[in-house]
Amino acid sequence: MKTKQIGIIGAVMIGIAIAWTMTFFSADLNQDIQVIDTPYAIDASTLQNKIKEKQIFVVDIRDEQSYAAGHIPGSSFDYLYDSTLDKRVGTIQSRLPDVASTAQFVLIDEDGKVSNQIAQSMSENGIKTFYLEGGIESWGEELKTTSTPKKIDASQLYSKIQQNEDIYLLDVREPSELEVTKISSSVNIPLADVFSTNQIEQIPDDKPVVVICASGNRATIATYALALEGIDFQVLEGGINAWDSFLEENNLNPI
């Protein structure tokens, strides 16, 4: 009889131990999930307020067609994947150290499933980045549409200049780079200055702004600040390098 009682008590004790272990590891797992996800998430209401106060740079990482069909007002468009992501992060860290250390970014995708991973990666590299929880599907406000492509090639830009279209050419390279080659009608505001309140106020918001750099990398980053100010932007695809190649291939004189 005693042996049977001891067996029953032992079985109960083992059951309690198993239940406690499962509860402990379940709680620990949930805690780990919260640590990974929560710091990088931002809800739509909070994001709306931050955009109104111009406290955050909003980058839409969906494809350009989706962006054109409807995007959050104040958001730019960029392909933040693979080597492009590495290039953007490296440029922000090296050329915009103040922005990298003090500014906030938020990434927008369809449902938040991809943007959360990229936000975590950028944050781990020292750039404070969030993702919109639930993606653009969670945005309750009206979306903005656009019919203007966010990139313009050298041929298209050349035609616009020749036709005297009312556009603003913004070159975000360093002044020394413009001494080598430039478009004569462009205005030089280096990338770091574009993120300065005093400098960005010089850029018009009543006409299209074509952003120029060496290859398109810095120009794209500049659009993060332009978009937040409601400035209509296009990036010269391939930058001044592509522009110079276009002129040479077509035997055209610099303009």
Assess whether 25 and 81 both reside in one domain: no
Last residue of a domain, one of 85, 115, 138: 138
**The domain spanning residue 214 has which CATH number?**
3.40.250.10
- Per residue in 14-55, pLDDT (tens digit) is 444 444 333 433 333 333 323 334 689 999 999 999 999 999
- 127 in a domain, yes or no? yes
DSSP 55: -
How much is the pLDDT for 26?
Answer: 37
- 132 in a domain, yes or no? yes
Evaluate if pTM is beyond 0.75: yes
- 32 in a domain, yes or no? yes
Structural domain range at position 24? 2-38
Alpha carbons 46 and 44: distance in angstroms, whole number: 6
Assess whether 123 and 163 both reside in one domain: no
Assess whether 49 and 130 both reside in one domain: yes
Alpha carbons 109 and 124: distance in angstroms, whole number: 20
Burial of 114 (0-12, 13-18, 19+ CB in 10 A): middle
Concatenated DSSP letters of 226-246: HHHTT--EEEETTHHHHHHHH
Last residue of a domain, one of 138, 166, 196: 138
| Ranges assigned E (strand) in 153-208 | 168-171, 187-188
Beta carbons of 129 and 105 less than 8 angstroms apart: yes
- The domain total for the chain is 3
Mean pLDDT of the chain: 89
The mean per-residue pLDDT over the stretch 151-178 comes to 98
Alpha carbons 152 and 220: distance in angstroms, whole number: 12
Assess whether 24 and 77 both reside in one domain: no
- 124 in a domain, yes or no? yes
How much is the pLDDT for 39?
Answer: 85
How much is the pLDDT for 38?
Answer: 60
The mean per-residue pLDDT over the stretch 126-132 comes to 98
